[in-house]
Structure 1
């Protein structure tokens, strides 16, 4: 609450620096051997989330049993409530039960500092349905998995860079009787290696 109060006061009349970026309407649906199909979002949900740009698409390779659902929500500014909504909050609200929750390193994708990409990994279930979810916050050159750090860096970058732009990145794959959790991990990691490097054109550092 204290951080939020400082944030609202210090922003005041400032106008943020908007970064040049590509629009997700141009994000490729063909990525190596992955073929994507766009999934629409009703305008009422776009309005509720206060998105400035987004992509939702299902990507699959010819031999895949289940597609990877790829979602990126981008915000030009994340002042007040206009910010990325954490799946950690939204998942229970949709009736899903949160099972295993951990942070997972993805060695297949190295960050500029040489460290592997770090993601939040969650197994969720609703009745007989089960899904594997990876997500993280991609914010002004940082990959963040902790929601509290997201808020802290929003304040810091607002003061030092005059920027609060950023994105939530989420990948989901259904798990059924023929798809194990391990196979789901392999599919999500393979898509991360192929597709996530392309985000640099759409989510500014």
Structure 2
């Protein structure tokens, strides 16, 4: 689990995509999709589903961004939300949320475990991240 929160974003101190940092640390991307996850309250969030491999290890990564209560999967949408909130609310804070697990049996089983974890943790995010 990784939850990175930036109280203020500016050049040199901004959220950056796992699509950039994971390959930069030796992980080879195998698949990249966006998937819906139903969460508490009848809502659905859309998260990035990123399958990577290093040597004989495979890892499944789910990640998304939160900009003052708005959950978005994409880097461009996160940046747009930050700009909008900077203008409207004079705030540039945001978070990157990432959960990952080694693929030991199957990608589908690993995905199911990660989705269940996201569904369990999602209702508690408001306790740690500002709206």
TM-score (norm 2): 0.94
Runs of 4+ residues over 2 Å off in structure 1: none
RMSD of the TM alignment (CA)? 1.3
After alignment, is 150-159 or 98-107 more displaced? Answer: 150-159
Q: Distance between the aligned counterparts of 1:99 and 1:190, measured in 2?
A: 23
Higher RCO (C-alpha 8 Å, min separation 6): 2
* Structure 2 counterpart of 1:61: none
- Taking structure 1 as the reference length, the TM-score comes to 0.61
Corresponding residue to 2:59 among 128, 131, 134: 131
Tell me the secondary structure at the aligned position of residue 195 of structure 1: helix
In terms of fraction of residues, the more helix-rich structure is 2
1:10-159 pair list within 5 angstroms? 70-107=1-38, 109-110=39-40, 114-159=42-87
Structure 1: 5+ residue runs without aligned partners? 1-69
Question: Is 1:181 equivalent to 2:115 in the alignment?
Answer: no
Deviations 1:68-109 (A, max 9, x none): xx11001111122211121011011011110111000112x1
Number of residue equivalences: 131
Q: Secondary structure at the match of 1:118?
A: strand
Q: Deviations over 1:112-171 (max 9, x none)?
A: 6x4411100011001100000000001111111111122222111111100111110000
Higher strand share: 2
> Bigger radius of gyration, 1 or 2?
1
Secondary structure (helix, strand or coil) at the match of 2:58 reads: strand
- Paired residue for 1:191, among 108, 111, 117? 117
Output one character per residue of 1:155-205: Cα deviation in whole Å (capped at 9) or x when no partner: 1111110011111000000013xx211110111011111112111111111
